Structure 1
């Protein structure tokens, strides 16, 4: 039912004139409040937006006191999006401790005024409702959400080095209970609408956005109000249980992040331990705990990473190209996983290799990925139907993108592209996943060598977000933009890199890994070196990383960079014996079920200091790469190393860390 006809403005008591909020009442006395932030594609809660909300709430309070309103419905004026949270562009200014506390108190106060209204205040959620957007929704009396893939509900603040600061800590615990609410805040993960309803963060689901207004009207007229979490859940924050739950959260969090590097989750747990049994007190205490986090080095660097990653999303071609079919040549670990990722992202994929015996393991791995990432059997089956074995290469003429991902042998790659070029349709991307060979050498035999670009993915494909888009001296800017568009279309982050040995990531990584291997050859403990790198802030140590990349790949890249593996070394012997690391079950470590089996690391007086020494070759090489113009600037280098290697995001990347004296 189209119920906009219900809305008829009553001008007898006019609402304040505001840019971002629009308020009107209908014949039933229902107030319709719409947030539509001017000049922005998404709704964000800037200081100006909050200031206007104060005016609107004052007007609503007056109507309620006079008995002139039955209730209020809050909706978004943006199609497909509710509220994306606070305005991150204001965060640097807001980190000033002379400004931030007062601004937080102001937002807390207006949200509390909404919650204290004597008339029902209902909100309808369609699309992303995250961060401050969820905090605003939780201040409302009743929440209705569209049950679609587009609706995402969560608290991502921990990824920016903070936690919810608009009263959301206590309100989420009140609604979902301490365990579920804290997990949501500590992980930063998003929920589907149905999951949010199971956690009591949403009260009702609707199937289509068009029904939001009608259901909200019914909720107002029925004076519906959300109930808090049942006592059985709230009891986990009461008495001695609260301390035990807090200790368990600290232990689990410490397994994932270092408190010295990422203080926000631990500060949130401390806040919970003090006030988790009193949601209102927890929300009020939130401000004092939040302020020091906002100005921390970690939060500032994570904001920088966020803005860089957002800027890189604008690198695609315009108008935006459409991609529907991908053909991957090479069903090994990289090729098979690239094919699986593209199928997971909704593209039709043909996967080619010499025979089905080589393709079948890739299909099996793909099914495992789909089962892990997709929630229903139907979705898994649909993804599998999009991934087709193609020994004869029948998919080449139909594809929009061809990706070669075979062994690092120049003659093999040349042969593949010379044959494929004759069969590809005009405009199709022709790309190599080479990890180290210059594109100009691969393209020598092509009729149109300018057509070949590099799309260098990283292992494991499903986890690492970076794809290096390699530009040779033969490429024009347009082909690189189209390559960036494809990377963005499959949910990855493109960084443009000029064709040079090792490009960016491998060239910077190899001196780091080889220096660590040399230390192992000289008798140092691989476990200790890995532990030191992790203590510094790396996601894994250099020896485990070499095993993960593959010792054969490492040796090949080392040769491309002019670094031969010494004959008679342990490294050379492992490669000669086919002990190539994780993929063969044995390398520097023995591997079981995808995990390195490590002995206990020997003690060391200063593990972070040793880790800093270990990463110096990486930082030095990254600086050289920028000076040579292989990437556009230090920002590109930093984001590439963070997304491609996991280099300590809390430090802002290797060059930012050096600038700050931390690497």
Structure 2
């Protein structure tokens, strides 16, 4: 049987009778398993079966033709159409059958993995007989489906339990955590590691000739899926999941646990049971909204300079070593840039260096990598790094006269091509740029606290800026793995503008005697990641007061809020604010009973939703879509609702 012309795959058999199958999705930067690709794969599998039956092939090695990696998963752009109940079950059954035919082949079928191997890509790899992966920092292996409101649907639930054991397999599926190659090898998801992508063909050839077969997890690792141990594990999984999300808001992880509870003792039955459990999730409101959030987030990557004009950023200089400035500097160093950090003296810089080391130790693990990151972060009291920097970020106290002085000095010393940026949280750029020889050079790069956790950077555009200058700022945000949202210079910009009425409304309730624990619990019941009082403490009461004043909401003297600020009790960073803080955690009392926490939460969040619509109407952001993704990334606003304007449209807020 001759193969028809293929769009997504290439297949040929060499002189040693080894088949080489390459996936190369046309017109895309990453490979995906589209419906067309799966239909073509079915044809290829039939061809391989014929060759194997005729003893014309010894085995197959599956590789990727993309620099970016193996397979990034199913084609998410098809998910809305696939949600149709008349289409999805049969499509899933067909894919299950194809993957099972691969596993049933009489000859070895080997996967060679580099870069991203995610979702459906990992499910295909697990159906192969043997898996080889490149052991470098670019390789990432995992099941991120839970972030889209679903779980693996191509047989990956059962096969991952078979290979990694129930504890590890369920953890990676429930969290969406991506593994490095070494961790995947330790779990049993990968069988062999190589140093470079060029080694995949050689190792794949040897795996075919030696008829290598992956081994399932040892019995001791599979024990928790059997007999009375499984109910215990199921209860623990539900307890841990409930600490993070509710079943009402995010049904997918609970549906996965239910599937494991029912069929976890037999990986084949668990894989087959995916189909009936998966179908209702795909068309759910949560999954639909999470897909929207995904596409909005992906769209932010198009805001930087593109093509030949793509800039290179090597050196960053940060002025101000406080919590924000120090953490911005640490993040840039973590992302591989050389950073100089300036403040008035070493006493002010030293705490930032200590926090940076803790971040590096947490993220990088290996001591040599931590040392290298620390070497990239240099204390610079005298500001010697200014003249060499490609990007200069001011993060001093939120006082206009001080910012003026800083930028007059920076403009005189910086090289002409350097980005000059302020991390102001609320002051319009036009006011900061007064007195500069070229005010068009100043843009805003507004990061959010904690910098290492929140992905958003507001790229602030003043009336002096050109498109190119703003796009350059967005390019820098993307270069350090942040998500840029372009915002017009206006008091509070986007996130602080919508947050402040919400937070101050909650503070006002506390001032009147309502329980801060109840208020925070209600916001979380609505779907916020953190309550407004705890958030105010996290942001810093001094910052909150300053932003409130900038937005025309002065904090009344004699209020509890003002008294805390005057006493230096500024929240998390000082160990005391509305809450007492110990080891970075707010110490909360019991939550008073309330008949409808979620309803109270909607009431609390209403000022945020209302203000988002006002911001869109005032063209502070270009669209409601950008407002939604900006507020989600900057505040954690319930992603399962799709953003504040989407939630208002759907009657959910």
Tell me the TM-score normalised to structure 1 length: 0.98
Q: Provide the secondary structure at the position in 2 that maps to 1:209.
A: coil
In the alignment, is the contact (CA less than 8 A) between 2:460 and 2:486 conserved in 1?
yes
Alignment of structure 1 residues 5-44 onto 2, 5 Å: 14-44=2-32
In the alignment, is the contact (CA less than 8 A) between 1:15 and 1:24 conserved in 2?
no
Q: CA deviation at 1:14?
A: 3.2
Q: Which residue of 2 aligns with 1:3?
A: none
Q: Provide the secondary structure at the position in 2 that maps to 1:445.
A: coil
Q: Which range moves more in the overlay, 325-334 or 59-68?
A: 59-68
Q: CA deviation at 1:103?
A: 0.6
Q: Which residue of 2 aligns with 1:545?
A: 535
Q: Alignment partner for residue 134 of structure 2, among 146, 165, 175? A: 146
Matched, 1:262 2:250: yes
Matched, 1:133 2:125: no
Q: Alignment partner for residue 233 of structure 2, among 242, 245, 257? A: 245
Q: Which residue of 2 aligns with 1:222?
A: 210
Matched, 1:561 2:551: yes
Q: Deviations over 1:209-234 (max 9, x none)?
A: 11111111111111110111000011
Q: Which residue of 1 aligns with 2:568?
A: 578
In structure 1, C-alpha distance between the alignment counterparts of 2:615 and 2:636, rounded to whole Å: 18
Q: Deviations over 1:545-581 (max 9, x none)?
A: 1111111111111110111111111111111111111
Q: Deviations over 1:129-185 (max 9, x none)?
A: 000000000000011111111111100000100000000000000011111111110
Segments of 5+ residues of structure 1 without an aligned counterpart are 1-12
Matched, 1:81 2:75: no
In structure 2, C-alpha distance between the alignment counterparts of 1:587 and 1:252, rounded to whole Å: 29
Q: Provide the secondary structure at the position in 1 that maps to 2:509.
A: helix
In structure 1, C-alpha distance between the alignment counterparts of 2:44 and 2:501, rounded to whole Å: 60
Q: CA deviation at 1:16?
A: 3.0
Alignment of structure 1 residues 456-467 onto 2, 5 Å: 456-467=446-457
Matched, 1:382 2:378: no
In structure 1, C-alpha distance between the alignment counterparts of 2:545 and 2:295, rounded to whole Å: 36
Q: Which residue of 1 aligns with 2:480?
A: 490
In structure 2, C-alpha distance between the alignment counterparts of 1:604 and 1:392, rounded to whole Å: 56
In structure 1, C-alpha distance between the alignment counterparts of 2:203 and 2:331, rounded to whole Å: 38
Residues 634 and 80 (structure 1), Cα distance of their counterparts in 2 relative to 1, 3 Å cut: closer
Q: Which range moves more in the overlay, 33-42 or 573-582?
A: 33-42
Q: Which residue of 2 aligns with 1:5?
A: none
Q: Deviations over 1:520-566 (max 9, x none)?
A: 11110000000000000001001111111111111111110111111
Alignment of structure 1 residues 374-413 onto 2, 5 Å: 374-413=364-403
Alignment of structure 1 residues 313-328 onto 2, 5 Å: 313-318=301-306, 319-328=309-318
Q: Which residue of 2 aligns with 1:7?
A: none
In structure 2, C-alpha distance between the alignment counterparts of 1:205 and 1:364, rounded to whole Å: 35
Q: Which residue of 2 aligns with 1:6?
A: none
Q: Alignment partner for residue 95 of structure 1, among 68, 74, 83? A: 83
Q: Provide the secondary structure at the position in 2 that maps to 1:408.
A: coil
Matched, 1:307 2:271: no
Q: Provide the secondary structure at the position in 1 that maps to 2:63.
A: strand
In the alignment, is the contact (CA less than 8 A) between 1:582 and 1:591 conserved in 2?
yes
In structure 2, C-alpha distance between the alignment counterparts of 1:640 and 1:253, rounded to whole Å: 26
Q: CA deviation at 1:235?
A: 1.1
Q: Provide the secondary structure at the position in 2 that maps to 1:14.
A: coil
Q: CA deviation at 1:15?
A: 2.8
Q: Provide the secondary structure at the position in 1 that maps to 2:302.
A: coil
Q: CA deviation at 1:29?
A: 1.4
Where in structure 1 do 4 or more consecutive aligned residues deviate above 4 Å? none
In the alignment, is the contact (CA less than 8 A) between 2:529 and 2:638 conserved in 1?
yes
Matched, 1:58 2:60: no
In the alignment, is the contact (CA less than 8 A) between 2:289 and 2:641 conserved in 1?
yes
In the alignment, is the contact (CA less than 8 A) between 2:320 and 2:395 conserved in 1?
yes
Alignment of structure 1 residues 351-366 onto 2, 5 Å: 351-366=341-356
In the alignment, is the contact (CA less than 8 A) between 1:565 and 1:571 conserved in 2?
yes
In structure 2, C-alpha distance between the alignment counterparts of 1:455 and 1:178, rounded to whole Å: 44
In the alignment, is the contact (CA less than 8 A) between 2:30 and 2:68 conserved in 1?
no
Q: CA deviation at 1:258?
A: 1.3
Q: Deviations over 1:609-645 (max 9, x none)?
A: 0000000000001100000000001001000100000
In structure 1, C-alpha distance between the alignment counterparts of 2:167 and 2:426, rounded to whole Å: 47
In structure 2, C-alpha distance between the alignment counterparts of 1:37 and 1:385, rounded to whole Å: 40
Q: Alignment partner for residue 601 of structure 1, among 584, 591, 595? A: 591
Q: Provide the secondary structure at the position in 2 that maps to 1:600.
A: coil
Matched, 1:67 2:55: yes
Matched, 1:659 2:641: no
Matched, 1:49 2:37: yes
Q: Deviations over 1:596-618 (max 9, x none)?
A: 10101101000000000000000
Q: Provide the secondary structure at the position in 2 that maps to 1:31.
A: strand
In the alignment, is the contact (CA less than 8 A) between 1:548 and 1:581 conserved in 2?
yes
In structure 2, C-alpha distance between the alignment counterparts of 1:575 and 1:20, rounded to whole Å: 61
Tell me the TM-score normalised to structure 2 length: 0.99
Matched, 1:450 2:446: no
In structure 1, C-alpha distance between the alignment counterparts of 2:17 and 2:351, rounded to whole Å: 64
Q: Which residue of 2 aligns with 1:624?
A: 614
Q: Alignment partner for residue 478 of structure 1, among 468, 486, 500? A: 468
In structure 2, C-alpha distance between the alignment counterparts of 1:477 and 1:77, rounded to whole Å: 35
Segments of 5+ residues of structure 2 without an aligned counterpart are none
In the alignment, is the contact (CA less than 8 A) between 1:57 and 1:114 conserved in 2?
yes
In structure 1, C-alpha distance between the alignment counterparts of 2:237 and 2:32, rounded to whole Å: 31
Q: CA deviation at 1:80?
A: 3.7
In structure 2, C-alpha distance between the alignment counterparts of 1:505 and 1:178, rounded to whole Å: 41
Q: Which residue of 1 aligns with 2:270?
A: 282
Q: CA deviation at 1:25?
A: 1.0
Q: CA deviation at 1:298?
A: 0.6
Matched, 1:331 2:316: no
In structure 2, C-alpha distance between the alignment counterparts of 1:601 and 1:48, rounded to whole Å: 53
Q: Alignment partner for residue 533 of structure 1, among 523, 536, 552? A: 523
Q: Which range moves more in the overlay, 371-380 or 15-24?
A: 15-24
In structure 2, C-alpha distance between the alignment counterparts of 1:79 and 1:412, rounded to whole Å: 47
In the alignment, is the contact (CA less than 8 A) between 1:16 and 1:59 conserved in 2?
no
Q: Deviations over 1:78-98 (max 9, x none)?
A: 124100100000000001111
